[in-house]
């Protein structure tokens, strides 16, 4: 069975391990993530996460059998720098990812030392708390070229037929504060129309030209947190898309998550 592919908002830092204000602020995000596994046609054989928090000159994958943790955040309690998401890696999947990307003419490499960052484990701690599914993390290219990332997704789409769940992990708005209320809502409205309402060809063309969207460079002064969407959309290619989560974080910032493929009714409600 072909797995769907996702772009998921990952929230802030190690929030699934925390209690208190941050966890409460992200309660709707958590509920949205908890709804996702019910949409899968089967348990994934492995998960490939494209994280907004890793950039390299070439697309790079974690190749270790048990990747470590990258604590890529500051200002959290000391115990948040000892948390573990102890899933296995998958050297065989990592090698396949590299081969598929290189066959598509894209530079790709492996890293035996890179661990999982919070773009991966903050999402997976909620989706798969048992940590019993092998996980490989994929970097973005430092160029942040949207077409390259769409093409990377297209090259990796075959993995969906092998039971691999592909997740782009980022944020549709990476800025904060009340000044972001209007710009993030306008940008997110545009993104909803592009991803969910346009046909696949128009969707890809609009995503390539995302900087023309309303307030694009206000909500994304740097597009690192948007580019994982391009990989997810590339892997989805001609599949219809559906919004699986939409919220105003902290009451101000409008953000959304998307699924490509799967049945329209699978575990979803209207957003």
Q: Where are the domains of the chain?
A: 5-260
Write out residues in the chain with pLDDT < 70, as ranges: 264-271
Q: What confidence score (pLDDT) does residue 34 get?
A: 97
What angle do helix axes 146-156 and 227-236 make, rounded to 10 degrees? Answer: 40
- What is the model's pTM? 0.96
Q: What confidence score (pLDDT) does residue 262 get?
A: 86
Rounded Cα–Cα distance for residues 121 and 144 (Å)? 22
Q: What confidence score (pLDDT) does residue 266 get?
A: 58
* CATH fold for the domain made of 5-260: Protocatechuate 4,5-dioxygenase; Chain B (3.40.830)
Rounded Cα–Cα distance for residues 16 and 9 (Å)? 13
CB burial string 138-159: b at 16+ within 10 A, e below: bbbbeeebbebbbbbbbbbbeb
Q: What confidence score (pLDDT) does residue 21 get?
A: 87
Rounded Cα–Cα distance for residues 72 and 94 (Å)? 22
User: What's the angle, vertex CA 81, arms to CA 90 and CA 144, rounded to 5?
Assistant: 55
* Helices and strands of the chain, counted as H and E runs: 9, 8
Q: What is the pLDDT of residues 198-242, one digit of tens each?
A: 999 999 999 999 999 999 999 999 999 999 999 999 999 999 999
């Amino acid at each position: 069975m072909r797995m769907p592919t996702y772009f998921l908002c990952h929230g802030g830092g190690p929030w699934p391990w925390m209690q208190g204000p941050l966890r409460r602020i992200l309660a709707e995000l958590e509920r949205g993530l908890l709804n996702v596994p019910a949409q899968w046609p089967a348990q994934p054989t492995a998960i490939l996460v494209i994280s907004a928090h890793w950039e390299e000159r070439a697309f790079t994958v974690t190749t270790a059998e048990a990747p470590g943790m990258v604590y890529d955040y500051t200002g959290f309690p000391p115990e948040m720098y000892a948390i573990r998401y102890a899933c296995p890696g998958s050297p065989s999947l990592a090698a396949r990812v590299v081969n598929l990307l290189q066959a598509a003419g894209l530079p790709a490499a492996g890293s035996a030392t890179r661990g999982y960052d919070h773009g991966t484990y903050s999402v997976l701690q909620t989706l798969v708390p048992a940590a019993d599914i092998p996980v490989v993390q994929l970097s973005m290219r430092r160029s942040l070229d949207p077409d390259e990332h769409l093409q990377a997704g297209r090259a990796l789409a075959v993995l969906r037929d092998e039971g691999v769940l592909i997740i782009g992990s980022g944020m549709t708005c990476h800025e904060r504060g009340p000044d972001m209320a209007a710009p993030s809502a306008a940008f997110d409205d545009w993104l909803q129309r592009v991803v969910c309402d346009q046909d696949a060809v128009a969707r890809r063309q609009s995503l390539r030209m995302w900087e023309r969207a309303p307030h694009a460079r206000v909500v994304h002064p740097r597009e690192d947190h948007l580019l994982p969407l391009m990989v997810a959309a590339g892997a989805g290619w001609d599949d219809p898309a559906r919004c699986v989560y939409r919220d105003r974080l902290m009451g101000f910032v409008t953000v959304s998550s998307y699924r490509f493929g799967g049945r329209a009714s699978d575990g979803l409600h209207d957003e």
